[in-house]
Structure 1
């Protein structure tokens, strides 16, 4: 059942399918398990004010990235939804400075693509700034972020930002977030009829969608081109957003292959959209193996307590396929790609790069 549904979704032309639809499919699959009474056990919803565990002797320069090999642990059908804690919301590792340096020119030079504000989302932007910049970073990473008077100093970059939202614009709040953490944030805000709509974002590393074009759309409108979404998922997703309790954090990982370089800012994407005027370059059929990467997104959903905005958080990782193969995972990755349902493989452009990349991954080191 779930395989068939996933295959249907993967053939859609909706650019948000890569991000939201897989997560919602997973939610549908596990909602009953999460909400079902557990005999002999007692589970309490966590308040968003739950204590943040401080990393007192943390050195980001020595911290390895989390293990992000979803092709080994969850495949494409079992979505790997897991509960997260508030402490795990933001991650730091030895790639931090490189990623921040990649984000800065995007925030400052392409704000029309990376920063989204507006009357309907501004209260949620202010609330998220308080949660991330004022509460979370100094508490979780005291060796990196030090509160000094009315500002916080980022000891890794040498920059400072305000310890208050007073006197700064909402665009500046988003810019400060984008300049200090690697995560991107998308704001799904409830409207008068209870539907959640994309109203704002700080999106330096979009994985193949143009955020400004989607502002104001509901989850259902975003997925309108998706066959079967309204019938199979629309109502369930709307209800789930409405039932989310602040302090609940759920996450999963999504992955794809990027065969034309390591840049994370992608509005064109790595996916094929049938029925559109998309032109696929010949390079996709004969990519340089030196330009092929595994792109993984760690995705998290949570709800803010004051505005009830649902925050979709995305942290992106890139790994050269040469490294994947050198670590002995080439055959396992190839098997995962080959096992994709036909529609999903088509959506991921397997029909183009697969003829060259798959045999190479299968070769012995």
Structure 2
């Protein structure tokens, strides 16, 4: 287990922000990247996905190569400064390496690399990374590189190279309203205006599914691969995302990170049960449908409001059991 102090992540909001504002708040730059007690479990899932789906979890365009190298420098510098007990840089035979003491891996920090710089970032951190670059011709930002091991209902190979306005095609209100706000924000982003936000999904994973399988969601309907017609609170998983936005100074690109964590509905405290209901009720109708509200509303709301439910323990085996009550670290 990673022996570090917990980081207080954003919980559900009893007074949710307007959906159009995206719920942005100023980034605590000392918490740009965080590790927590689930590092081993999530690392195993990430390692499995990199082995099984290498071309589906990492994509880099020629325009993104330089920024990936810069990102690796930033990630290594951050992790070694913040977590010196777990990460350090050393020299061997005239070459620099980053050592991950948690899982006992090391990677060269000089060419030729042991793996692509973006893959090294994905193997060191718990976050997924996406890099967006502004085009001088269209003045829009384009996705030029991404290590997305835990997609939330989309395929990376279909998004790489696309502009911000086209990135989230199926998401309600994205192209008509949200994409313009995001593009405007990216254009103004600097080292003084780094931001973060949080969001969550309700997920019904297949019983006994490995963690890697239900974190790797490429289609929205796969959030509900479990037993919907016999749904109990113990089957329901809260999938949270902590997202950050900052700019890389040398390449002038935007780095978007996503840290995914999971928790059983039945592990929520009383205050969180009340807050999650209020936040869900504040969703726009199109967003509620997109996130599958009609499928799970009765069970989730019933449980959070103290309703009586039945449970069948034999169907509940899953990796999620050891990952509840997730804490993050300073």
**Superposition TM-score, scaled by structure 2 size:** 0.80
Alpha-carbon distance in 2 for matches of 1:308, 1:116: 19
Which of these residues, 249, 253, 263, is aligned with residue 309 of structure 1? 253
In 2, the alpha carbon distance for the partners of 1:125 and 1:140 equals: 21
Match of 1:267 in 2: 218
In structure 1, the residue matched to 2:314 is none
Are the equivalent residues in 2 in contact too, given 1:165–1:173 (CA < 8 A)? Answer: no
* Correspondence for 2:140: 195
**1:348 corresponds to:** 291
* Structure 2 unpaired stretches of 5+: 309-330
**C-alpha distance in 1 between matches for 2:25 and 2:252:** 22
SS of equivalent residue, structure 1 residue 177: helix
- Count of equivalent residues: 296
Q: CA deviation at 1:138?
A: 1.1
**CA 1:85 to 1:332, structure 2 compared with 1: closer, same or farther past 3 Å?**
closer
1:110 paired to 2:53: yes
Deviation of 1:282 after TM superposition, in Å, equals 8.7
Alignment match, 2:102: 156
Match of 1:245 among 190, 193, 202: 190
Q: Give the equivalent residue in structure 2 for 1:146.
A: 88
Distance 1:230 1:97, change over 3 A: closer
CA contact (8 A) 1:129 1:165 kept: no
CA distance in 1, matches of 2:266, 2:171: 35
Which structure 2 residues correspond to residues 1-365 of structure 1 after superposition, within 5 A?
Answer: 60-72=2-14, 74=16, 77=19, 79-133=22-76, 135-149=77-91, 150-162=96-108, 164-168=109-113, 172-193=116-137, 194-223=139-168, 232-246=177-191, 248-261=193-206, 263-269=214-220, 283-324=227-268, 327=270, 329-363=272-306
Residues 1:146 and 1:237: Cα distance change in structure 2 (over 3 Å): closer
RMSD: 2.8
Provide closer, same or farther for how the CA distance between residues 352 and 75 of structure 1 changes in structure 2, counting only shifts above 3 A. Answer: farther
Indicate conservation of the 8 Å contact 1:258/1:270, yes or no: no
After superposition, the Cα gap between the structure-2 partners of 1:143 and 1:79, relative to the gap in structure 1 and judged at 3 Å, is: same
The verdict on how the C-alpha distance between 1:300 and 1:142 changes in structure 2, with shifts beyond 3 A counting, is: same
Partner Cα distance (2:220, 2:174) in 1:
22
Structure 1 unaligned residues grouped into runs of 5+:
1-58, 273-279
Q: Following TM superposition, by how much is the alpha carbon of 1:290 offset from its aligned partner in structure 2, in angstroms?
A: 2.4
Q: For the Cα contact (< 8 Å) 2:43–2:126, is it kept in 1?
A: yes
1:103-122 superposed Cα distances (whole Å, 9 cap, x missing partner):
11111221011111121111
- In the alignment, which residue of structure 1 is the partner of 2:328? none
- 8 A contact 2:4–2:36 mirrored in 1: yes
Question: Structure 1 residue 265: deviation in Å?
Answer: 1.5
TM-score of the superposition, structure 1-length normalised? 0.72
Moved more, 96-105 or 227-236: 227-236
Aligned residues of 1:63 and 1:92 also touching (Cα < 8 A) = no
Q: Displacement, 1:259? A: 1.8
Residues 2 and 37, structure 2, Cα contact 8 Å, conserved in 1: yes
Query: Any conservation in 2 of the 1:257–1:270 contact (CA below 8 Å)?
Result: no
Greater share of residues in strand:
2
Alpha-carbon displacement from aligned partner over 1:153-188 (angstroms, at most 9, x marks no partner): 2111111122x242127x621221111111000111
Partner deviation per Cα, 1:79-130 (whole Å, 9 max, x = no partner): 4321114321110111112211111111122101111112111111111011
C-alpha change, 1:75 and 1:319, in structure 2 (3 Å) is: farther
